[in-house]
Amino acid sequence: MTGTVAAEDLDRAQARAELARLAEEIARADRAYHTDDAPVMSDADYDALKARNAAIEARFPDLRRPDSPSGRIGATPAEGFAKVTHAQRMLSLENAFYPEEITEFDGRIRRYLGLGADAPLRYTSEPKIDGLSLSLRYEDGHLVQAATRGDGTVGENVTANARTIDDIPQTLEGAPALLEVRGEVYMSHADFAALNARQTERSDKPFANPRNAAAGSLRQLDAEVTRARPLRFFAYAWGELSEPLAETQMSAIGRLSALGFVTNPLTVLCDGPAEMLARYAEIEQQRATLDYDIDGVVCKVNDLGLQARLGYRSTTPRWAIAQKFPAELAWTRLEAIDIQVGRTGALSPVARLTPVTVGGVVLSNATLHNEDYIAGRDANGTPIRDGKDVREGDWVQVYRAGDVIPKLADVDLSRRPGSAVPFAFPKKCPECGSDAVREAGDSVRRCTGGLICPAQAVEKLKHFVSRAAFDIEGLGARQVEQFYRDGWIAEPSDIFELEARYGPGCLTQLRNREGWGEKSAANLFRAIDEKRRIPLERLIFALGIRHVGEVAAADLARHYGSWEEFAAAVDAAIPAAAAHRAAEKAVAAEQRAAQAGERRAQSAESRRRAWEEAALPEGAKAAWEDLVGIDGIGASVALSLADSFAQSAERASIDRLIGHLDILPPEPRATADSPVAGKTIVFTGSLERMTRAEAKARAEELGARVSGSVSARTDLVVAGPGAGSKARKATELGIETLDEDGWLRLVGDA
Ligand code: IVH
C-alpha cells in the first residue's frame, strides 16, 4: 500500500490515491475528535497524517483535492455547497469615515425625499457586527433555508449548519407566512479564545480573528463540525416578506425580537446627525468592553415608508450608512516602489512593504495612488503629510480601512536612510517602453501604447473574462496570463477562435500543463461556446472602456437596445467629442480671464461659438447630446467611448469580437405589465410631489429609460411648472406630454 512509500517517492497515480486516502482518514479523525469527543488517534499521529498530506500536495499541486484536509482551516471550498439565488439581493452598506459624511447623508436623504431641513427625520443607530451575513428563510413558521451572502445575488446553502446555531430558531410562532430574516453570524471573544486554545493544543493553525473563525466554522461541509463551534446570530434586517413586519425599523426589530431572534441591545433611535454622531462616540467608547467584534455603527432611516421611497443604488440602500471606526495603524519599512500598468494604461505605484500585521491581517503591499501622492501633494497641489514625500527605504505607517486596499498614513523622516533619494516616477511605460503621459487635469500618468502594451492587453483580457463581464468558466486571470504569454490569445476575439485555430492540438497541450486535467480542458471550449450568446450590457462592460462601469454599461444598453444602435451612435458622436473638448477649453479660458478681471464670463456664448466653429457633420451634435443626455452618462463616459471607437486598432479589435457573438438585447427592468416599460421618458420643469431623483428611480424601476433631452426617440415628457424648451420641443415633435399628477396616475402612484 502507498501509505508506506515516502512522499518523495510516490509517482503521480500513487499520489492521487494517497491524497484520497488521507482526506478520508483525516476527515474521520476530525469527526471523531470534534463531534464524538472520542479521538481515534493520538495528536502526533494526526499531525503526521497532515504533514504527509501537505508534502504530497506540495509535490503535485494540481492533484490537491477540493476536500483537501489542508484547506479545512478557514473556509471550505465554495464548490462544496449548493448555490442559492436570493429572492431579494443581499446588499452591502455605504461606508462613512468622517463626521461630515453623516451630515451629508442626512442632507442627501432630505433632498431625495424633498424634505426641508427642519422636517422631522429619525434614524436607528446600532453596532455594525464584524461577522458574516446570513439570510434565513421561514415558510409557515419553519426554517427552510439558510444562505450566505455570496456575491449578493447567489449565496451558498448552509441550512444544515445554521440549524446547529442556538440563536437561530427552527420554528416561529405568529410570524408572516413567508419571512426572510437577515443578520450576522459571529463568534464571541471568549468562545474564540477557547476555540483557538483547542486548535493550538491539537497543532491546528489558530484562526486570525473571530470573523475568520466564524466564517470557517459556518462554511463547514460537515454540519457536525459547525455544531461543535459556538456561533451566535444577531438579527438586524429582512428580505422577502408576505406581509410587512411593522411601520418603522425600530418596531420591526422589536417584532423580530418577540419572534425569538436575538437583536442587538445597543440599538437606539436618533433624531438627526448630531445624535447619530454622539451615539457613534458612545459606542466607540464601549467597543473594548463588548464581547464581540464590531467595526462601526450602522444608521438606518426609521420610517419604512421612507425606506421604500428611497430604494437602492446598484449595491447599497440609499437609506442606510455605516460609520466605520478608524483603521488600525502599524509602522513598517517600504522596501520598494513598483509600478503596475492597468487596463486603461494607468501607471499605479505600489508600495512593497516588509510584512506587518494590522488588525490580524498581514500587509505586504499598499497603494501609493499616483506621482503627486508620492511627492507629498494632492491633486490641487496642496501638501499632504505636511508635504513629506515617500522614498524607497522609508519607514511608513500603514492602515487598512474597511475592505479596501491598504493605504499609507505617514512617513517617519527621522528614520530615513541617508541613501534614500526622491522617487523618480517613470515617464515611459515600464512594460512596453511607450511614452507615459499625463493630461492636464488628470492626476494619473498613462501609457500610450494601447493594445501593443502587454500589461494593458493582459489586464483588458482579465477584465473581459471577469465575473461581471463574460464570466467564462475555467478561464480566469491566471489562465489568461498563461495563454497570453504563450501567444494563444492577444485580444478578446482570439478567445472565440482558440478551438478553430488550435483545435485538438490545443487540447493536448492544455492537458499536459500544470493545473489542467482532461476534463477541464474539454470543458473550456464548451464554456467559451456558451458565452457566444451574451447580453448587450455585459458586452459593453467587458470592453473595458475607461469610466464605463457596470452601471453605465447597463444604462447604455437600455438606452440603445442593440449593439448596432449603440455603435452607430458612438461613431456618429466621435467628431462631436473634439468639439466638446474645444468648447470646454474655450469656457475655461473665458473663466480664467473673468477671474483676472479682464471681462465678464460669457460661458454659454463661448460654448455655442466653439460648437459652431467645429462645423460638425450632419447628426454628430444630436448623437452627442443624446449620449450625454442619458441619465447617469456624463461627458467623461461619452468622451472615453468616442476616444476608444475613434482609435482604428481598438475599433478593429472590437469589430473582430462582435463577429463571434450573438448579442442579446437588454431585458426591460420592468414588471412586464408596467405601462412605461421600454419607453424613453424625459422629466422637465419642477416636480412637487417627488424629487427628480425619485421620479427617475421610480421610472427605471418600472422598466423605462430616462433621458435628459427630448428627441424623436422620446416617448413621453413629464413636464412640471417652468418646463421651457424641452416641453416646447415635445409639442413640436408631437410627443405625449403629462403633468406630474398625470404621471402618478399613469404609474398607479396617485
Ligand atoms: S444592515 C441592506 N445592519 O455589514 C443592508 N448590516 O458592509 C442590510 N452588517 O453585508 C445590512 N452589522 O453583513 C446591517 N447592524 C447591521 C450590520 C450589518 C453588520 C454587515 C452586513 C452587510 C455588511 C455591509
Residue 408 within any structural domain of the chain: yes
Q: How confident is the model at residue 706 (pLDDT cuts 50, 70, 90)?
A: confident
Domain check: are 203 and 291 in the same one? yes
Domain check: are 164 and 130 in the same one? yes
Q: In this structure, are residues 347 and 341 in contact, taking their beta carbons and an 8 Å threshold?
A: yes
Compute the distance between CA of residue 482 and CA of residue 503 in angstroms, rounded to an integer. Answer: 18
What average pLDDT does the chain have?
89
Compute the distance between CA of residue 417 and CA of residue 394 in angstroms, rounded to an integer. Answer: 7
Mutate which of 93, 149, 268, 290 for ligand 1? The one with the most ligand atoms within 8 Å of its CB, which is: 93
Domains contained in the chain, number: 6
Q: Please check the confidence at residue 482 and state whether its pLDDT lies above 60.
A: yes
Residue 83 within any structural domain of the chain: no
Global pTM reads 0.62
Compute the distance between CA of residue 482 and CA of residue 443 in angstroms, rounded to an integer. Answer: 32
| Nearest residue by C-alpha to atom 21 in ligand 1 | 133
CA of 130 to the centre of ligand 1 (A): 9
Domain check: are 489 and 589 in the same one? no
Domain check: are 199 and 249 in the same one? yes
Domain check: are 655 and 595 in the same one? yes
**Quick one: which atom of ligand 1 is closest to the CA of 126?**
15
Residue 84 within any structural domain of the chain: no
Domain check: are 336 and 425 in the same one? yes
The set of protein residues with a Cβ atom below 6 angstroms from ligand 1 is 91-93, 126, 128-129, 133, 149, 184, 236-237, 298, 317, 320, 322
Compute the distance between CA of residue 388 and CA of residue 396 in angstroms, rounded to an integer. Answer: 11
Q: Please check the confidence at residue 72 and state whether its pLDDT lies above 70.
A: no
Give the CATH number, domain containing residue 729. 3.40.50.10190
Residue 670 within any structural domain of the chain: no
Q: Where a domain ends, among 292, 324, 356?
A: 324
Return the pLDDT at 402: 56
Give the CATH number, domain containing residue 480. 1.10.150.20
Residue 86 within any structural domain of the chain: no
Residue 68 within any structural domain of the chain: no
Domain check: are 420 and 485 in the same one? no
Return the pLDDT at 662: 97
Return the pLDDT at 406: 85
Residue 419's domain spans which residues? 329-437
| Nearest residue by C-alpha to atom 6 in ligand 1 | 128
Give the CATH number, domain containing residue 23. 1.10.287.610
Residue 262 within any structural domain of the chain: yes
Give the CATH number, domain containing residue 383. 2.40.50.140
The residues annotated with a catalytic role in the active site are 128
**Quick one: which atom of ligand 1 is closest to the CA of 316?**
2
Phi, psi of 162 (to 5 degrees): -60, -35
Percent of the chain surpassing pLDDT 70? 93
Per residue in 136-186, pLDDT tens? 999 999 999 999 998 888 899 999 999 999 999 999 999 999 999 999 999
Q: Where a domain ends, among 404, 437, 470?
A: 437
Domain check: are 141 and 275 in the same one? yes
Residue 674 within any structural domain of the chain: no
Q: In this structure, are residues 376 and 383 in contact, taking their beta carbons and an 8 Å threshold?
A: yes
Domain check: are 423 and 461 in the same one? no
CA of 213 to the centre of ligand 1 (A): 19
Q: Taking the CB of residue 543, how many other CB atoms lie within 10 A of it?
A: 20
Domain check: are 163 and 248 in the same one? yes
Domain check: are 21 and 123 in the same one? no
Compute the distance between CA of residue 735 and CA of residue 727 in angstroms, rounded to an integer. Answer: 9
Domain check: are 284 and 397 in the same one? no
Q: Where a domain ends, among 437, 471, 500?
A: 437
Whole-angstrom CA distances from 37 to 29, 40, 137, 196, 342 are 10, 10, 32, 17, 52
CA of 185 to the centre of ligand 1 (A): 11
**Quick one: which atom of ligand 1 is closest to the CA of 132?**
13
